[in-house]
Amino acid sequence: MDKSYDKIGEALNVETQIIKNPEVVSDIQKPSSSEDAEKDYEYSRAQLYSLIEKGQEAVDGILDVASSSDHPRAYEVAGQLIKSVADVADKLADLHKKMKDINDTYKGPQSVTNNALYVGSTAELLKILKQEKKKEE
């Protein structure tokens, strides 16, 4: 064993061992990314709703203070607080849009469009079609 491990073991009053081939436990199943995304979405959504509600209560309170004191600073704070609550509401809308985009990417394409393009004259096309018809017969 290495001397540094021995010194650490002596200092901590424990025995140290170096395991060369540790056994890997593979029974743990990681949840799928769509489940994680859904849980994160629900958590973020709940947090944003909570922030909006608390912000609205704060706006109501600061507006009461501003109207009773008629102090310009109180109105300035009220305006900043209203802007902050509006920003959180925008973040909530962005969260919905992002979740919709994530769900759309998981679904994949709805239909496949194949565009066939023939470059040549109509005489050549007729000749090819006649040869294909003869092959089928």
pTM value is 0.51
d(CA 78, CA 64): 10
Please name which of 104, 106, 98 lies closest in space to residue 32, comparing C-alpha atoms.
106
Domain 32-97: top CATH class: mainly alpha
pLDDT, tens only, 26-83:
555 555 667 788 888 899 999 999 999 999 999 999 999 999 998 999 999 999 999 9
Domain ranges of the chain: 32-97
- Confirm if 59 and 81 have CB atoms less than 8 A apart: yes
pLDDT, tens only, 98-114:
888 877 765 555 666 66
